[in-house]
Amino acid sequence: MDVTGPMPVLYVISDALGETAEFVGRAAAAQFVGIKTRIRRVPYVRDEAHLEEILEEAVAEQAILVYTLVLKGLRDYLERRAAERGLKTVDILGPVIEALSKQTGMEPTHTPNIIHRLDEQYFRKVEAIEFAVKYDDGKDPRGVLYADVVLIGVSRTSKTPLSMYLAHKGLKAANIPLVPEVIPPDELYAISPRKIIGLTLRPELLNQIRTERLKTLGLGASADYANLERIMQELEYARGIMKRIGCPVVDATGKAVEETASIVLEILFKGERNG
3-state secondary structure of 90: strand
- In this predicted model, what pLDDT tens digit does every residue of 253-273 receive, in sequence order? 999 999 999 999 999 988 765
Q: Which amino acid is at 228?
A: L
- In this predicted model, what pLDDT tens digit does every residue of 227-238 receive, in sequence order? 999 999 999 999
pLDDT score of 221: 60
Closest of 39, 30, 31, 55 to residue 7, by C-alpha: 39
pLDDT score of 1: 42
The count of C-alpha atoms lying within 13 angstroms of the C-alpha of 39, restricted to the half-sphere facing its C-beta, is 19
3-state secondary structure of 6: coil
In this structure, of 38-47, 110-119, 194-203, the range with the lowest mean pLDDT score is 110-119
Calpha distance 69→49 (Å, rounded)? 15
Which residues of the chain form CATH 3.40.50.300?
122-274
The number of helices, as runs of H, and strands, as runs of E, in the chain is: 9, 8
Could you list the residues known to form a binding site for ADP, using ranges.
153-160
Question: In the beta sheet, which residues pair with residue 68?
Answer: 14
Calpha distance 106→72 (Å, rounded)? 15
Residue 47 DSSP code? S
Q: What is the DSSP string of 148-196?
A: SEEEEESTTSSHHHHHHHHHHTT--EEEEE--TTSPPPGGGGTS-GGGE
Four-CA torsion 256, 259, 261, 265, nearest 10 degrees? -170
User: What is the mean pLDDT of the segment spanning 232-253?
Assistant: 97
Per CATH, the number for 122-274 is 3.40.50.300
Global pTM?
0.61
The count of C-alpha atoms lying within 13 angstroms of the C-alpha of 243, restricted to the half-sphere facing its C-beta, is 6
Architecture of domain 9-112: 3-Layer(aba) Sandwich (3.40)
Give whole-number Cα distances, 57 to 6, 11, 24, 53, 228, in Å. Answer: 16, 10, 22, 7, 79
